[in-house]
A = this chain, B = another copy of it.
Amino acid sequence: MALIGVSRDTGEGALNILQHLLSYGYQGRIYPVNPSASEILGMKTYSSIAQVGENIDLAVIATPRSLVPRLVKECSDSGIHSVVVVAQGFTDASDAEGTRLQKQITDIVQSGETRVLGPNTFGTANAFINFSSSFVRIGMKKQPVGIICQTGVFFVGFPEAMLIGKGIDLGNACDIDFADGLEYFKADTETNTVALHIEGVQDTKRFIDTARRITPMKPLVALKAGRSDQAAKAAQSHTGSLIGRNEVWEAALRQAGVTQAGDLEELIDLARTFAVLPLMERPEIGVVTISGALGIVAIDDCQRFSLEIGGLSADTKRLLDAMSPSWLDVGNPVDIWPAMMISPTVMKPLADGLESLLSDDQVGGVLFIGAAFDEKWSIGLCQLLTELATAHQDKPLACCIYGPCGNQAIGELQNSGRVAGFPTPERAVRALARLSEYSQLRRIL
């Protein structure tokens, strides 16, 4: 790969693509291009693409915008088929010059075999080959989540989740668009869930057609940004995206089987849930809670997000009754705390209760609500939950973990690749509700 316009700024805080790329441990060959330097970070630099004189698979262009069309042409003439344009100031700019420059790039692309990602993009990220063209140093993780977005925000990540297994930032999407990204992830065996952050799509029909072919195989979750008029106007100056009417978008995404997130938090929650949980074979869930109050909150949440709290089988009820104090009327949600209080080993009723619900044919998925009181408790709890989920890989287990060590436990559960963890019941219920909807859809697709 060639890096055109590599910065001579290096060291801590420098926005240097080459420096970051080397730090990830990327194994491919890199040719830095900068006519004003002979060496950057110990690597020989080249004055131009032509001077490299090797076969190049990918060129990343990070120069002032005025130079970009000529450089794209040079790449195309040199037989480079993939170009990422990081530079800003094209249709994302307010001036006519930006639009003119982007038009020049599009013209070059249309007349040859070269495809362009961007401009105004972080490019791509791929944890499986330790690669990213991001000018901000990012963290990646080999996980089965792919994301197609119009911003580098998802590369940088969120406090609650690092989503980047593989990422494609379309930026202004002058050439490579959502449908191209979807085709990639459709074929990609390392990805089982695809998240989309959409400001606008150039060829909506092709996008919806492609999405419709993927959703019977892999879940797509999408956040449509720029839904309000004011936001749509702002999106025009962010990535030059033309945004269709929101109602049309919603209907089209629904038809294509795409799960729609109401906000950013839901997009993140759904992506990480769909990536680790199996489909739900029945729409009713069973709830085990150590807090009666949060059990009640979860019932409200189930009503709000259209998820059913089902009945329990006679066997399950018998087992739960036997371990609980006689004054407790065991139902679903199962309040397991009283049983824990009268048991010599506090974790035993918890394990038995969860096991019985995970084995119950009347239950399609299980929600556990519990606390991580301290570090030791948290470790034991995560171990128990991971073991149970591993023994019941056909039934989704989502957890709300409150308490001071909750974040740590949620992270650990997510890392197990088997359990989805959340800080509140509502987020766990919302994720299970969407999983249930998608599971039902999969049966008829």
- Binary per-residue interface labels of chain A (330-353) against chain B in the complex, 1 for a CB within 8 Å, 0 otherwise: 010101001001000010000000
Is A256 engaged at the interface, CB distance under 8 Å to the other chain? no
Write out the residue numbers on chain B whose beta carbons fall within 8 Å of the beta carbon of A327.
89, 93-95, 97-98
User: With the chains together, A227 CA to B329 CA distance in Å?
Assistant: 21
Tell me the count of chain A residues lying within 8 A, CB to CB, of chain B. 85
Is A417 engaged at the interface, CB distance under 8 Å to the other chain? no
**Nearest residue in B to A223 (C-beta to C-beta)?**
B297
Known interface pairs A97-B327, A150-B293, A424-B158. Does A136 touch B373 (Cβ–Cβ under 8 Å)?
Answer: yes
User: With the chains together, A264 CA to B369 CA distance in Å?
Assistant: 14
| A303 with B423: CB separation less than 8 A | no
A244 to chain B, nearest CB (A): 15
**Of A125-133, A387-395, A401-409, which binds chain B?**
A401-409
Write out the residue numbers on chain B whose beta carbons fall within 8 Å of the beta carbon of A338.
88
A25 to chain B, nearest CB (A): 18
Is A225 engaged at the interface, CB distance under 8 Å to the other chain? yes
| A410 with B199: CB separation less than 8 A | no
Is A116 engaged at the interface, CB distance under 8 Å to the other chain? no
Known interface pairs A234-B333, A309-B230. Does A12 touch B376 (Cβ–Cβ under 8 Å)?
Answer: yes
Is A355 engaged at the interface, CB distance under 8 Å to the other chain? no
Write out the residue numbers on chain B whose beta carbons fall within 8 Å of the beta carbon of A426.
263-265
| A401 with B159: CB separation less than 8 A | yes
- Binary per-residue interface labels of chain A (72-112) against chain B in the complex, 1 for a CB within 8 Å, 0 otherwise: 00000000000000001100111101100000000000000
Write out the residue numbers on chain B whose beta carbons fall within 8 Å of the beta carbon of A137.
373-374
Partner of A94, one of B15, B291, B328, B406: B328
Is A157 engaged at the interface, CB distance under 8 Å to the other chain? yes
| A297 with B374: CB separation less than 8 A | no
Known interface pairs A153-B293, A263-B424, A264-B425. Does A237 touch B403 (Cβ–Cβ under 8 Å)?
Answer: no
| A297 with B264: CB separation less than 8 A | yes
Is A28 engaged at the interface, CB distance under 8 Å to the other chain? no
| B89 with A293: CB separation less than 8 A | no
| A291 with B373: CB separation less than 8 A | no
Partner of A228, one of B136, B151, B300: B300
Partner of A407, one of B92, B97, B293, B407: B407
Write out the residue numbers on chain B whose beta carbons fall within 8 Å of the beta carbon of A92.
292
- Mind listing 8 A-B residue pairs with CB under 8 Å? A93-B327, A94-B329, A97-B327, A152-B291, A153-B402, A159-B402, A199-B293, A264-B425
- Since A228-B302, A235-B296 are in contact, a sample of 14 more A-B pairs with Cβ atoms closer than 8 Å, ordered by chain A residue number, is A89-B327, A93-B325, A98-B327, A151-B292, A151-B293, A151-B294, A156-B403, A158-B423, A159-B372, A159-B402, A223-B297, A234-B292, A237-B329, A264-B425
A residues with CB within 8 A of B: 12-13, 15, 88-89, 92-95, 97-98, 136-137, 139, 149-153, 156-160, 162, 197, 199, 223, 225-228, 230-231, 234-235, 237-239, 263-265, 291-297, 299-303, 309, 325-329, 331, 333, 335, 338, 341, 346, 371-374, 376-377, 401-407, 410, 423-427
